[in-house]
Amino acid sequence: MYAAMTPQWAGTLLGLLEVAMIPIPFVFWRYGAKIRAKSPAIRALREEQDRLDAKRAKYQKKLEKKRQGEAENAKTEEVGVLEKAAGD
């Protein structure tokens, strides 16, 4: 179809298609949040992200507790070494 047109009409067709597509980015900018909220794929990604965030927070809490326990053990060992040295 495009090859059968004269160059003037071919250029006009492309120009009209471009003009017809001008509002598309503005529509996505304006209604993008509503479109994403209705999307099942985005909802699944958000749920997955929430699950991973909860898992990461749980791991960080566990790691912090472990480090705190190691610090207390180090203090206890240090006190024991000092008491031993004082007793000698």
Per-residue pLDDT reduced to its tens digit, 18-53: 999 999 999 999 999 999 889 999 989 999 999 999
23-38 and 40-87 helices, crossing angle to 10°? 60
Please, which pLDDT band fits residue 80 given cuts at 50, 70 and 90?
low
Task: Give pTM, 2 decimals.
Answer: 0.47
71 in the Ramachandran plot: left (φ > 0), alpha (ψ -120 to 50) or beta?
Answer: alpha
5 in the Ramachandran plot: left (φ > 0), alpha (ψ -120 to 50) or beta?
Answer: beta
Go through 3-12 and write b for each residue having 16 or more CB atoms within 10 A of its CB, e for each that does not.
eeeeeeeeee
CA pair distance 69, 85, nearest whole angstrom: 24
